[in-house]
Amino acid sequence: MKKILFTTLCLLVTVSLAHDSRVFALDGEIRIHDPSTVIWCNGKFYTYGTGGISLVSDDGWTWRRGPSLPRRGVAPDVIHIGDRYFLYIAANSGPTKADINLLTNKTLDPDSPDYKWEEGGVVASSDGIEDCNAIDPGVLLDPTSGRLWLTYGSYFGYIRLVELDPSSGKRLKPNEKPRNIAINGEASIMIYHEGWYYLLVTHGSCCRGADSGYNIRVGRAKNVAGPFLDNMGTDMLRGGGKLFVGSSGRLIGPGHFGLFDLGDGIQRFSLHYEADLDKGGASILDVRPLLWKDNWPVAGERFVGGTYQIESLRTGTSLELTVEGFPVGGRPVRRGPPPGSPGAPLSPPTGGGAPPIGGGIFAGTGKPIPTQDVTEVSKKWPEGNVDVRMGNYMCQAQQKWSIEPISGSGYLGSPYFKITIAGTDRTLTATEDAELVAMPIFTGRPEQLWRFDELADGSWRIMPKAIPSLKQSLALSAVGSSFATFASFDSRSEKQRWLLKTP
């Protein structure tokens, strides 16, 4: 009896953990303010914040405190060019008197013998009189030209732009006057996307916990020096800026955008919230999907799972167990000819429920048809491993997949997920020969852990954490109309794009 009680308690704990909203926030030590762009080095993710602190993660989901920088300034940004990491960090010596300093390193990994920060000097400054406060650096390596750009500034006056030398990270022309490109914000940074330069600037007030009005706004320009106009055509030099992301839920004051490009059209952005109400109002790191619509960046939501129909964008057919489907509500019974045809009743049949439309085979039952009971339907399914195929979605039990986050293991900005037929333990699994099967139980092995990456068009790339005996990462792929397999992800193809629809 005690054992049963203990098991029940464990189950209750497991269930409550599975539905704990905390599982949807980055895991581990994520307290930071003004984080830099998240950057990858030697198998780990790094970000640096105000005070020279750093956070490090092996998988991009669970974070821990990393080594501090030799400078204790504010709001750093970091970029990797060639064999060097260039880190820019500012310090105020007066209300608007500030310098942005360069630090360089061959690696961010403190365990590497090459780990050594070197001072690179001041790359931008403000004298305390001019209309600028030279803090909050943000860097862009222009993919079209290879030129390196630095934006900086904070409220007092302008956000400014200067050019840096990509070979040294230093100011390219120290005597050249900086260009003004925006006002009314801080934490500026530029990104490039399909012919446009985007300037992301954090507006609103910072550093006031849950009373912070921080929000990230964006303008775009065809030229790196602007003018950066928002969606209404207002120049960011005149206070314009289309809202990119503001406070939502219990997360207050998003700021300090940083792009992380995973390749294949999949992007994330890093940011901090001034206050996470679930963490006592602490300032925390987050990493979210970056999507695009009409050539404007869109802040994606972290995927939290649920019960879904998984439909191939290529074929329109949906993933299902290879079992014989049973129509929802039972097989149709022919009750008569279509209304209006010879022999059809002239008036609706009498009886309980709402009056059906006309009569005959199109009349329905007059009452809602209940959802298919998977416990009942699955009694006829084979035991053991069952193949997986694709078919026309008809709301049947073998076509509904429960996607649940698994704590303790993740990828950049998300935990991994298990995928099971809703209401069962039949678990989608990658096999050694890189095919699909549904196993009868969830083992937690890498071939049963799945990552979901939202693509710009709202479809999803779905990948197992690993395929046994394969080093290569492969994505779930439609092959023909009725079968799925694994293949290298091709961002130009619809074969590896999936829609998640609520059944």
Partner 1 sequence: MTKHLITLIAFLILFTVLDHVAHVASQIPASTLRASDSSNKPPDADGFIQRWLILEPLNTNGLTDTAVQAAVKKEYFADQLNVVPRDGDKVNVDGAELTWHALDTTNYNVNLFHFARAYSKKTSDVLFWAVTVINSPREMRDVRLAIGSNAASVWWVNGKEVIGIYGDRQTVIDDGVSKRLTLNKGPNVVRAAIINGGGATDFCARFLYAEDRPLKEITVSLGTIRTKPSP
Our CB check for partner 1 shows the closer of 277 and 470 to be 470
CA angle 424/430/435 to nearest 5° reads 115
Placement of tokens 């909203």 in the chain = 21
Hey, is 31 helix, strand or coil?
strand
Sign of torsion, CA 237 102 34 155?
Answer: negative
Chain residues 331-350 in contact with partner 1, contact rule CB under 8 A: 340-342
User: Is 75:135 a contact under the CB 8 Å cutoff?
Assistant: yes
Our CB check for partner 1 shows the closer of 118 and 324 to be 324
Hey, is 210 helix, strand or coil?
helix
Q: Which of 466, 479, 494, 499 binds partner 1 (CB under 8 A)?
A: 479
Task: At 410, give phi and psi (nearest 5°).
Answer: -160, -175
Least Cβ distance, residue 476 to partner 1 (angstroms): 14
Residue 348: CB atoms within 10 A of its CB come to 15
Our CB check for partner 1 shows the closer of 407 and 482 to be 482
Q: Quick check: 107 binds partner 1 (CB under 8 A)?
A: no
Long-range contacts of 175-178 (CB under 8 A, 24+ apart): 178/124, 178/132
Q: Quick check: 482 binds partner 1 (CB under 8 A)?
A: yes
- Edge-first strand order for the sheet with 97-105 is 74-81, 84-92, 97-105, 118-127
Which amino acid belongs to residue 112?
Answer: S
Our CB check for partner 1 shows the closer of 141 and 434 to be 434
Q: In this structure, what DSSP letter does residue 24 have?
A: G
Q: Quick check: 470 binds partner 1 (CB under 8 A)?
A: no
> What burial letters (b/e) apply to 215-227, b meaning 16+ CB within 10 Å?
bbbbbbbeebebb
Q: Look at strands 475-479 and 266-276 and give their pairing.
A: unpaired
Residues 418-457, mask of contacts with partner 1 (x by CB under 8 A) = ---------------xxx----------------------
Q: Quick check: 480 binds partner 1 (CB under 8 A)?
A: yes
Window contacting partner 1 (CB under 8 A); options: 44-52, 151-159, 239-247, 481-489: 481-489
Window contacting partner 1 (CB under 8 A); options: 25-33, 188-196, 231-239, 478-486: 478-486
Window contacting partner 1 (CB under 8 A); options: 228-236, 264-272, 367-375, 477-485: 477-485
Least Cβ distance, residue 359 to partner 1 (angstroms): 16
Task: Return d(Cα 101, Cα 92) in angstroms, integer.
Answer: 11
Least Cβ distance, residue 435 to partner 1 (angstroms): 5
Window contacting partner 1 (CB under 8 A); options: 258-266, 317-325, 358-366, 414-422: 317-325
User: Is 32:272 a contact under the CB 8 Å cutoff?
Assistant: yes
Task: Return d(Cα 93, Cα 441) in angstroms, integer.
Answer: 61
Helices (H) then strands (E): counts for the chain: 2, 33
Our CB check for partner 1 shows the closer of 141 and 328 to be 328
User: Is 225:202 a contact under the CB 8 Å cutoff?
Assistant: no
Task: Return d(Cα 92, Cα 133) in angstroms, integer.
Answer: 8
Least Cβ distance, residue 431 to partner 1 (angstroms): 9
Our CB check for partner 1 shows the closer of 29 and 435 to be 435
DSSP E strands in 326-441: the ranges are: 386-391, 401-411, 414-421, 427-430, 436-439
Task: Give CA separation, 90 vs 54, 73, 76, 133, in Å.
Answer: 15, 5, 7, 10
Our CB check for partner 1 shows the closer of 46 and 483 to be 483
Residues 165-204, mask of contacts with partner 1 (x by CB under 8 A) = ----------------------------------------
Our CB check for partner 1 shows the closer of 112 and 385 to be 385
Residues 376-415, mask of contacts with partner 1 (x by CB under 8 A) = ---------------x------------------------
Residue 121 backbone zone (phi > 0: left; psi -120 to 50: alpha; other: beta) = left
Our CB check for partner 1 shows the closer of 167 and 488 to be 488
Q: Which of 349, 481, 494, 503 binds partner 1 (CB under 8 A)?
A: 481
The site for partner 1, by CB under 8 A, has a size of 18
Our CB check for partner 1 shows the closer of 51 and 336 to be 336
Our CB check for partner 1 shows the closer of 267 and 322 to be 322
Q: Quick check: 324 binds partner 1 (CB under 8 A)?
A: yes
User: Is 201:245 a contact under the CB 8 Å cutoff?
Assistant: no
Residues 275-314, mask of contacts with partner 1 (x by CB under 8 A) = ----------------------------------------
Residues at the contact surface with partner 1, assessed by CB under 8 A: 322-324, 340-342, 391, 433-435, 479-483, 485, 487, 495
